[in-house]
């Protein structure tokens, strides 16, 4: 990559942070965003990984993880342009994950595999992790497992567990917890158990809209909720 292209890509990353985090007002402030070390560390580590320098790439990836407060991106993952991780802590992206352009992830998102006992049975070089399309938004705490495909402009709600393909523009939402009635010895009504409320939007996500992607999902006629993916209660 030429210096000019590198500078353009870096500027695009900073503009993506400024555009999707309302608390960031300039490129200079975006330079201090906690997810930036993870992203730029990944981009350098990925080049080393593809050049066959796997151990050096791993070392750089580990350093980026520390600097970013816990964003773990395997150097072998493929990530598109203007990728953004909000807050960042606890994000895990596996080796064969594929992420398109303008994708937004919130904290504690996992793009993982279904376990080594399944992966060992796959053909050599087979994808083990999710492929995420362009402009997808994945809410806090969501977990996507296995070689599934998430279509472009889909929205995955907070705390959703997704193990099947998701079509384009679909919305996958985990049920919202509700409190059951009951009293303690102090006369207060405790939460004895939580129950799922079907069809309600999650309280905390997906909170952000990436370049209008959520808007397009909202306007989808089907408003497909978990049409092919499975979403589980969070308790």
Average pLDDT over residues 166-192: 75
Distances (CA, A) of 135 to 29, 74, 99, 101, 144: 24, 21, 10, 6, 16
Q: 210: closest CA among 90, 84, 55?
A: 84
> Which helix H or strand E contains 155, and what residues bound it?
strand 155-156
**Residue 5: band (very low, low, confident or very high) from pLDDT cuts 50, 70, 90:** confident
**Residue 125: band (very low, low, confident or very high) from pLDDT cuts 50, 70, 90:** confident
Average pLDDT over residues 207-231: 42
> Which helix H or strand E contains 217, and what residues bound it?
helix 213-218
- Determine which of 75-89, 97-111, 197-211 has the lowest per-residue pLDDT on average: 197-211
The three-class DSSP label of residue 150 is strand
- Determine which of 7-16, 91-100, 220-229 has the lowest per-residue pLDDT on average: 220-229
C-alpha–C-alpha distance, residues 151 and 5, integer Å: 28
For residue 228, what are the contacts with CB-CB under 8 A and spacing of at least 6? 164, 165, 166, 167, 170
C-alpha–C-alpha distance, residues 192 and 210, integer Å: 37
Average pLDDT over residues 152-180: 92
**Mean pLDDT for the chain overall:** 81
104 forms bridges with which residues in the sheet? 84, 137
Predicted pLDDT of residue 189:
57
Predicted pLDDT of residue 108:
94
Average pLDDT over residues 84-94: 91
pLDDT tens for residues 92-103? 999 999 999 999
- Identify whether the C-beta of residue 20 lies closer than 8 Å to the C-beta of residue 138: no
DSSP character string of 167-192: -TT-EE-PPEEEEPP---TTS-----
Give the whole-number percent of the chain exceeding pLDDT 90: 56
Helical packing angle, 3-20 and 36-50, nearest 10°:
140
Q: 177: closest CA among 198, 162, 154, 148?
A: 198
- Determine which of 28-42, 126-140, 168-182 has the lowest per-residue pLDDT on average: 168-182
Average pLDDT over residues 178-198: 57
Report whether pLDDT(222) > 50.
Answer: no
């Amino acid at each position: 990559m030429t210096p000019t292209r590198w500078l353009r890509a870096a500027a695009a990353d900073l503009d993506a942070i400024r555009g999707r985090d309302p608390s960031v007002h300039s490129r200079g402030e975006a330079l201090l965003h906690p997810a930036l070390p993870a992203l730029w560390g990944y981009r350098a580590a990925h080049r080393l990984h593809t050049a066959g320098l796997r151990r050096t790439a791993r070392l750089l990836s580990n350093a980026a993880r520390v600097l970013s407060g816990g964003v773990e991106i395997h150097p072998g993952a493929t990530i598109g342009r203007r990728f953004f991780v909000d807050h960042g802590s606890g994000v895990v992206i596996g080796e064969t994950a594929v992420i398109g352009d303008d994708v937004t992830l919130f904290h504690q998102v996992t793009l993982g595999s279904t376990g080594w006992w399944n992966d060992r049975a796959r053909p050599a070089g087979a994808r083990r992790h999710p492929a995420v399309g362009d402009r997808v938004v994945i809410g806090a705490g969501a977990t996507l497992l296995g070689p599934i495909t998430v279509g472009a402009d889909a929205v995955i709600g907070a705390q959703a567990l997704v193990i099947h393909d998701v079509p384009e523009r679909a919305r996958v939402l985990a049920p919202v917890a509700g409190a059951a009635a009951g009293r303690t010895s102090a006369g207060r009504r405790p939460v004895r158990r939580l129950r799922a409320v079907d069809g309600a939007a999650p309280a905390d996500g997906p909170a952000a809209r990436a370049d209008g992607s959520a808007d397009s999902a909202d306007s989808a006629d089907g408003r497909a909720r978990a049409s092919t993916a499975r979403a589980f209660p969070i308790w």
